[in-house]
Structure 1
Amino acid sequence: MTTETALFTVRRAESSLAPSFPPFGQFIGGAFVPSSSSETVDIVNPATEEVLTQVPGGTVEDVDAAVAAAVAAKDAWAAKTPRDRSAVLLKIADIIEANRELFETLEAANTGKPAAVAEDDISSAIDTFRFSAGAARAYSTLGADDYAENHTSVVHREPVGVVGVITPWNYPLLMAAWKIAPILGAGNTLVLKPSEQTPLTTLKLAELIADVVPAGVINIVTGPGRVVGNRLSEHPDVDLVAITGSVGSGQKVAAAAAGSVKRVHLELGGKAPVVVFADADLEAAAKGVRSAGFWNGGQECGAACRVLVHESVAEKFTELLVREISEITIGAPGADDAEIGSMISKAHYERVLVALDEIRKDGLTIAVGGNAIDGPGYFIEPTVVTNVPAGAAITSNEIFGPVVSVETFSNDEEAITRANETIYGLAASVWTKDSARSLTIPRKLDFGTVWVNSHLVIATEMPWGGFKGSGYGRDLSSYALDDFSRTKHVMYNRG
């Protein structure tokens, strides 16, 4: 069955998915327990608008109970050897692997993701736990030695203690893995607040690993950010708060954390420029934007959403890009060969549509797409906006949907200046066949990750994080374990 629009159709599965839901309750001290409130949150399948289930609304008292459980467990977990903590992380990876289909089905139902994206999310989560298991055993630091006369110095790497974690709705299980794995690997305990819209796979993970992870090491409290997230950020017994979310959410977390002078780890928004030079392989660049600009429906902080192309090849590139985007397939979970799915929620769907209305009011050209697709579900056509002038709102505002803009530049210096003229500094890409340019341009771009002739390729061994408004701190790689650790210098007088 399909829903017709002028150009795009929504593919739908013949039969609906049958996900396995986690138990109802807050996961505190190694078990699901009742919330202190009777408030609940509806969990909706955004591809069908069906209410799947409910989870507890969450309260300050729930957070306090979870933090107390994490505090009670932290000394015993920190005392374990890296080998023992590594073994637990490997068991978690094995459990996800053994239940891959369950997690993929549940994630797709809760987020509207197509199969390819859900499969990639689960595979990446597994790899994150396995990498962190190895990295936990391979810290490197200064060797013990005499750095002052007659004094021997030893540097100890310690866990920070209890970490509060706030994860987003766009990659629920994967972003939980990006935090849980290095936090546990470094010897900390944690309390995690998943997005109130997409908590199901995180709760399911807790259910399946309850017998593997000691009680209190992982705790999960569902509920709204203004209650659960704020309490985590301000709680005096939480030693560090880590969030993946919007710039506004990160600012609120940092402000709340300032009261107790705790560390914060912020992975926030992005507006990734794709700089296409005249000598680039234009077909490859267009295909790269098709993949990286519309992956997960563009609900991706590193999405290739802002193309800057040299004016001499802009017409040809735009023609290639429009052709590529016109061929994108849209589908609900369970549909065959869908590239993009729905927006995450009605509220976000409406935000993206408002952004498209503003684009029209600004007089910009929508070369393809630009419309909602009739329901059920929160689907929007993949969209390319062309002839975008310098300084237009779309060049700086993060739409976080299936919308890519195209603007032009005339020389290398202008390309660098224009790419950097954003509050964000998460990711960018450079497309060129010139080896000298491929070395010099990335050094001048103010972004935490810069790809050359590709975009949105992630390696677990490499750090992920941004500059400027995109936050600070690094996920993935051994740098993540550093971020969730503290160093202590002990000096022995031998004189």
Structure 2
Amino acid sequence: MTPSAVRRAPHAPSLIGDADLPPARHFIDGTFVEGSTDRVIDVVDPCTEKIIARIPEGTAEDIDRAVGAARKAKAEWARHVPKERSELLHALADRVAEHADLLSRLESANTGKPLAVSRDDVAMTVDTFRFMAGAVRATTSMAAGDYAENHLSLILREPLGVIGVVTPWNYPLLMAAWKIAPILAAGNTLVLKPSEQTPLTTLKFAELVTDLLPSGVLNIVNGYGATAGARLAEHPDVDMIALTGSVASGRAVARAAAESLKRVHLELGGKAPVVIFPDADLAAAASGLRVAGFWNSGQECDAACRVLVHESVAERFVEQLVDEVRALVVGEPTCGEDVEVGPMVSKAHFDRVCGYLERAKKDGVRVATGGEALDGPGYFIAPTVLTDVSEGAEVAREEIFGPVITVETFADEEEAVRRANDVPLGLSASVWTENARLSHDIPARLDFGTVWVNSHLVLAGEVPWGGFKGSGYGRDLSIYALDDYSRTKHVMHNHGC
């Protein structure tokens, strides 16, 4: 059974008006500026396929200008004491909170997200700035002392300088905040390139906080990764490049950064296994996956997308999961608070996800529900559960990044761990069991940066986020992010002479 149609509201008021849109320009040295060429990029509403804005296509020249502004501003910003940086971050949080409704509507208009998802993004954006505002005033390090005779050692934490940032299309505002907040807290300046598909809330953020930020501390250049992003990664005056995006983008950035030996921070893809043991609360697991597998339409690097369930309870679990998935409400964000699943972000991504589904069917994978595109306009795909998925199947190993959950079975603990780890990515996973031993033993054996037990997709600003293997390196959120965006200096004083 597949939902017959997308819920639409053709006569509903538009989410945004022209006055809600940000300036369609770059933001450099504290002001919005025109690009170096006349080329523009269309920003498309994925629900209607209509153009809602056009932004300038940034060039290497635009990046150079932004890096120059960030470099000019870095010394003064680095001299601000933690209290001053903290107060500015709190002011940024206040400004985002003040305009939460506008930012939520703008995010949904640009991405097609249900409003519940966009509101959650904005709320965590506020929390991210508030956490970093507090954390920067409570940093710790090795105690000063004599570690060599007659020599006093001091450990200093210093800013890195200018940070280049590339953010993805699935969480435009939130992923920008995950980078901006710790980068500024640590005393750095930055140049950020948002996804060319979803730049609107990042630009709006800059417009809303222009009066709060010193000129040049935050700069935003629109454009494509192959030009603007590549120049940012290779730029000799950029001290670190931080990217949230695909594995392919991560490889490209790391290669470009290698020439100047700049630091690299990568948060890349995921293929999260959900390991369900026979004693698990199956109803709770199915209900949890309704959210964790389809939040943001499954366009999640940490989505609960790959179920490994014990063979003795597989049939019963699949029935419960399918019931939950069939109850999901697919629709445009203007169609009610109960809409849970929106469109894919673009035609290209829609075609990519559909391609995975078509190949899976040809390979003998069974579609328990969904498995097809929904009638347009828009890039909607029915929430899908695939079963009879064999070990090593394409849909079980590669990141689909859509509203698709695959189901495999296992016979014992060893097989569950082996198969869960048998993917090139290592961002997140979850284990579902009521057994205390399993709840500790299995997470310790899983090669993933975050492992939930009896839940999935729960985040907090106080704890680190990042992966292993092909999912990259470096940590977002928590005090570990502050460490990533700063450097350690040892100063030793000879006091024996």
Name the TM tier (shorter chain): over 0.9
Return the letter of the residue paired with 2:137. R
Quote the residue 2:57 is aligned against. 57
The answer on whether the counterparts of 2:25 and 2:56 sit within 8 Å (CA) in structure 1 is: yes
Q: What CA deviation, in whole Å up to 9, does each residue of 1:299-354 have, x standing for no partner?
A: 00000000000000000000100111010001112211100101000110010011
State the 1:391 CA deviation. Answer: 1.4
State the 1:16 CA deviation. Answer: 2.3
Quote the residue 2:445 is aligned against. 444
Q: What CA deviation, in whole Å up to 9, does each residue of 1:66-104 have, x standing for no partner?
A: 000000000000000000001110000000000011100
3-state SS of the aligned residue for 1:251?
helix
Residues 132 and 386 (structure 1), Cα distance of their counterparts in 2 relative to 1, 3 Å cut: same
Quote the residue 1:483 is aligned against. 484
Distance 1:475 1:353 in 2: 31
Q: What CA deviation, in whole Å up to 9, does each residue of 1:376-423 have, x standing for no partner?
A: 111000000001111111111100000000000000011000000000
The answer on whether the counterparts of 1:8 and 1:381 sit within 8 Å (CA) in structure 2 is: no
Give the TM-score, by structure 1 length: 0.98
Q: What CA deviation, in whole Å up to 9, does each residue of 1:28-76 have, x standing for no partner?
A: 0000011111100000110111100100000100000000000000000
Distance 2:54 2:60 in 1: 19
Output aligned runs, 1:456-475, within 5 Å: 456-475=457-476
Quote the residue 1:16 is aligned against. 14
The answer on whether the counterparts of 1:8 and 1:329 sit within 8 Å (CA) in structure 2 is: no
The Cα RMSD (Å) is 0.8
Quote the residue 1:311 is aligned against. 311
Distance 2:208 2:13 in 1: 27
Distance 1:187 1:204 in 2: 23
Runs of 5+ consecutive residues of structure 2 not aligned to the other structure: none
State the 1:6 CA deviation. Answer: 4.8
Quote the residue 1:492 is aligned against. 493
3-state SS of the aligned residue for 2:334?
coil
Distance 1:124 1:89 in 2: 14
Q: What CA deviation, in whole Å up to 9, does each residue of 1:280-312 have, x standing for no partner?
A: 000001111111001000000000000000000
Output aligned runs, 1:72-151, within 5 Å: 72-151=72-151
The answer on whether the counterparts of 2:8 and 2:332 sit within 8 Å (CA) in structure 1 is: yes
The answer on whether the counterparts of 2:290 and 2:325 sit within 8 Å (CA) in structure 1 is: yes
Quote the residue 2:416 is aligned against. 415
Quote the residue 2:383 is aligned against. 382
Runs of 5+ consecutive residues of structure 1 not aligned to the other structure: none
Return the letter of the residue paired with 1:363. G
Return the letter of the residue paired with 2:393. A
Distance 1:168 1:335 in 2: 26
Quote the residue 2:428 is aligned against. 427
The answer on whether the counterparts of 1:270 and 1:427 sit within 8 Å (CA) in structure 2 is: yes
Distance 1:268 1:6 in 2: 31
Quote the residue 1:244 is aligned against. 244
3-state SS of the aligned residue for 2:142?
coil
3-state SS of the aligned residue for 1:257?
helix
Distance 2:81 2:2 in 1: 61
Output aligned runs, 1:74-473, within 5 Å: 74-336=74-336, 337-473=338-474
Q: What CA deviation, in whole Å up to 9, does each residue of 1:203-245 have, x standing for no partner?
A: 0000111110100000000001000000000000000000000
The answer on whether the counterparts of 2:247 and 2:268 sit within 8 Å (CA) in structure 1 is: yes
The answer on whether the counterparts of 1:448 and 1:464 sit within 8 Å (CA) in structure 2 is: yes
The answer on whether the counterparts of 2:5 and 2:375 sit within 8 Å (CA) in structure 1 is: no
Return the letter of the residue paired with 1:10. V
Distance 2:197 2:393 in 1: 32
State the 1:12 CA deviation. Answer: 2.1
Distance 2:400 2:187 in 1: 37
Distance 1:117 1:50 in 2: 22
State the 1:15 CA deviation. Answer: 2.6
Distance 2:165 2:392 in 1: 36
- How many residues are paired up? 491
Return the letter of the residue paired with 2:271. K
Distance 2:358 2:202 in 1: 35
Distance 1:108 1:309 in 2: 34
Distance 2:430 2:400 in 1: 19
Distance 2:324 2:22 in 1: 39
Return the letter of the residue paired with 2:388. N
The answer on whether the counterparts of 1:193 and 1:229 sit within 8 Å (CA) in structure 2 is: yes
Return the letter of the residue paired with 1:400. F
Distance 1:391 1:361 in 2: 15
State the 1:176 CA deviation. Answer: 0.1
Q: What CA deviation, in whole Å up to 9, does each residue of 1:238-277 have, x standing for no partner?
A: 0000000000000000000000000000000000000000
Distance 2:86 2:13 in 1: 40
The answer on whether the counterparts of 2:6 and 2:375 sit within 8 Å (CA) in structure 1 is: no
Return the letter of the residue paired with 2:223. G
State the 1:7 CA deviation. Answer: 2.5
Return the letter of the residue paired with 2:319. E
Distance 1:234 1:116 in 2: 38
3-state SS of the aligned residue for 2:386?
strand
3-state SS of the aligned residue for 1:270?
coil
Distance 1:107 1:159 in 2: 31
Residues 244 and 6 (structure 1), Cα distance of their counterparts in 2 relative to 1, 3 Å cut: closer
Quote the residue 2:38 is aligned against. 38
State the 1:8 CA deviation. Answer: 4.2
Distance 2:410 2:259 in 1: 45
3-state SS of the aligned residue for 2:51?
strand
Distance 2:177 2:13 in 1: 30
3-state SS of the aligned residue for 2:294?
helix
Give the TM-score, by structure 2 length: 0.98
Distance 2:116 2:468 in 1: 30
The answer on whether the counterparts of 1:46 and 1:378 sit within 8 Å (CA) in structure 2 is: yes
Return the letter of the residue paired with 1:146. D
